[in-house]
C-alpha cells in the first residue's frame, strides 16, 4: 500500500473509531444520569447511590488490565465490539419491571456497563497511536488527534447527561434505556462491518507478564492519573447532583442540563488544548513539566469554591462559576495525560500500556465515587472539595518525576 493510501486508510479508520466512541459515550453519560436521578427519586441515600456504581468502577480496573492484553492478542476492533455488546445488554437488562431493580441487580448490570465502557475507551484511545505515521508520534499531530477524540467524546458524554435527564422526565426509566440500546446497536453494526479486523493486533506474541512490566514514566503517569480522576469524582459523581437536588431544589432536567453543559464545555477545552501549547515546545506537544504545572493550577479551584461557600456567597453562583473554571483546567490536565501515555508507548505495546494507564484511571474513579457518597453524607460538600484538593496535590507531586522533552529524548536514545 502506498503512503498516500495508508494515510487515507488511517483517516477513514480514525473517523470510524471516533463515531463508534461517540455513540457509546452518549449511552455512558445517559445511563449514569438515569441511575443517579432515578434512584435518588426513589429515596436512596447518597451512599446507596454511590454503591450502585461500585462494581462499575471495580470491574473497570480489571477490564483495563486484561483488556489491553486481549486487544494486543485479538485486535482492538474485537475489544471495541465486545464493549458495545455488553453495553447493549446492560441497557436492556436495566429496562425491566421496576420490581426487579434491587441494589444487587443494578450493581451487577452497572458492572457490565463499566466493563463495556473501559473496553471501548481502551480500544479507541489505543487505536489513535496506530493511525499516525511512524516517526510523527511525538509531534503536534498526535496531540491534536488524541485531543479531538477525547474532547469530542467528553462533549458527547455531556450530551448524554442531558439526554438521560431529559428522557427520564418525558419517557421514564425503562423506555429511555431501550431507546439508548437501539441507537448503540446501530453504531455497533456499522463499526463491525467497516473497521479492519486486525487493528491493533501485536506483531509478536504478547506475554501475560508484560501487563505489569512498565517503564518508570508510565508508572508515574498512571499514579498521577489515579489521583487526578479521583479528585474530580470525589465531588462530581454523587455529591454534586445530590447537592443540587437537596440544597438548590433543582429539577432532574435542570441538573442534567447543567452537568451536560459542563461536560460539553470540558470536552471543547480538551479538543482545543493543543492550541495552548502551540509554539511553546517546538511543536512537540506537552511534557512532564506541563503535567505538574497544570495540576498545581487545578488545586486552587476546589479550595476556592469551599472558601467561597464558607463566606456565605450564593451557593449556586459559587458552585457554577467554580465548577466551570475547574472543568476548563481539568480538561487541559486530562489532555496532557492522554497525549503522554501514547507518547511513552511503542506501537506493539500501546494497547497494554493504555489499558494499564486506564486501570489506574478506573481505580481513581472508584475511589472518588465511593468517597463522594461517604464524605458527602458525613461532611457535606466542603469535605468532598477538600478531599479533591488533597488528591490534586498528590497528582502534582507525582508528576515531578515525569521527564521533560530533553530528558525524554535521552530516554528514547
Question: How many Å apart are CA 364 and CA 118, to the nearest integer?
Answer: 14
Compute the distance between CA of residue 198 and CA of residue 211 in angstroms, rounded to an integer.
Answer: 20
Reply yes or no on whether the pLDDT at 281 is more than 50. no
Distance CA 114, CA 28 (A): 9
- Residue 300's pLDDT is what? 93
Query: Does 237 or 164 have the greater pLDDT score?
Result: 164
| Crossing angle of the two packed helices 103-130 and 3-41, in degrees rounded to 10 | 160
Q: What digits encode the pLDDT tens for the residues 324-358? A: 999 999 999 998 998 898 888 877 677 778 878 88
Q: Which domains, ranges and CATH numbers included, belong to the chain?
A: 3-195+210-412 (1.20.1250.20)
Helices (H) and strands (E) in the chain, counts: 15, 0
Residue 103: which H helix or E strand, with range? helix 103-130
Instruction: Indicate the pLDDT class of residue 152, thresholds 50, 70 and 90.
Output: confident
This prediction has a pTM of 0.76
Predicted local distance difference test score (pLDDT) of residue 308: 92
pLDDT at 78 over 50: yes
CA pair distance 360, 51, nearest whole angstrom: 19
Amino acid at each position: 500500500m502506498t503512503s498516500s493510501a495508508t494515510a487515507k486508510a488511517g483517516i477513514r479508520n480514525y473517523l470510524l473509531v471516533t463515531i463508534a466512541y461517540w455513540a457509546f459515550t452518549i449511552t455512558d453519560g445517559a445511563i449514569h444520569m438515569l441511575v443517579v436521578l432515578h434512584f435518588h427519586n426513589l429515596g436512596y441515600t447518597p451512599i446507596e447511590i454511590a454503591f450502585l456504581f461500585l462494581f462499575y468502577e471495580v470491574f473497570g480496573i480489571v477490564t483495563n488490565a486484561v483488556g489491553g492484553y486481549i486487544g494486543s492478542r485479538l485486535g482492538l476492533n474485537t475489544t471495541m465490539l465486545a464493549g458495545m455488546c455488553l453495553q447493549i445488554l446492560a441497557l436492556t437488562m436495566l429496562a425491566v419491571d421496576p420490581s426487579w431493580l434491587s441494589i444487587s441487580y443494578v450493581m451487577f448490570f452497572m458492572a457490565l456497563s463499566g466493563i463495556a465502557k473501559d473496553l471501548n475507551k481502551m480500544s479507541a484511545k489505543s487505536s489513535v497511536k496506530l493511525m499516525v505515521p511512524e516517526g510523527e508520534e511525538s509531534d503536534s499531530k498526535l496531540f491534536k488527534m488524541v485531543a479531538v477524540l477525547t474532547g469530542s467524546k467528553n462533549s458527547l458524554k455531556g450530551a448524554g447527561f442531558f439526554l438521560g435527564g431529559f428522557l427520564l422526565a418525558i419517557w421514564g426509566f425503562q423506555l429511555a434505556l431501550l431507546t439508548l440500546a437501539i441507537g448503540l446497536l446501530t453504531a455497533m453494526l456499522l463499526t463491525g462491518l467497516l473497521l479492519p479486523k486486525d487493528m491493533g493486533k501485536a506483531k509478536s506474541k504478547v506475554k501475560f507478564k508484560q501487563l505489569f512490566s512498565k517503564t518508570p514514566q508510565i508508572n508515574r503517569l498512571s499514579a498521577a492519573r489515579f489521583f487526578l480522576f479521583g479528585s474530580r469524582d470525589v465531588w462530581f459523581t454523587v455529591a454534586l447532583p445530590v447537592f443540587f437536588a437537596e440544597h438548590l431544589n433543582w429539577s432532574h432536567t435542570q441538573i442534567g442540563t447543567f452537568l451536560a453543559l459542563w461536560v460539553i464545555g470540558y470536552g471543547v477545552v480538551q479538543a482545543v488544548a493543543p492550541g495552548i501549547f502551540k509554539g511553546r515546545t517546538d511543536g512537540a506537544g506537552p511534557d512532564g513539566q506541563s503535567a505538574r504545572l497544570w495540576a498545581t493550577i487545578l488545586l486552587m479551584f476546589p479550595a476556592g469554591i469551599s472558601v467561597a461557600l464558607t463566606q456565605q456567597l450564593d451557593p449556586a453562583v459559587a458552585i457554577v462559576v467554580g465548577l466551570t473554571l475547574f472543568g476548563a483546567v481539568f480538561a487541559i490536565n486530562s489532555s496532557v495525560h492522554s497525549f503522554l501515555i501514547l507518547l511513552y508507548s511503542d506501537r506493539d505495546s500501546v494497547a497494554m500500556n493504555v489499558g494499564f494507564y486506564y486501570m489506574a484511571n478506573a481505580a481513581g474513579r472508584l475511589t472518588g465515587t465511593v468517597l463522594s457518597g461517604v464524605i458527602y453524607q458525613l461532611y457535606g460538600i466542603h469535605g468532598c472539595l477538600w478531599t479533591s484538593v488533597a488528591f490534586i496535590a498528590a497528582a502534582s507531586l507525582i508528576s515531578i518525576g515525569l521527564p521533560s522533552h530533553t530528558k525524554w529524548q535521552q530516554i528514547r536514545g
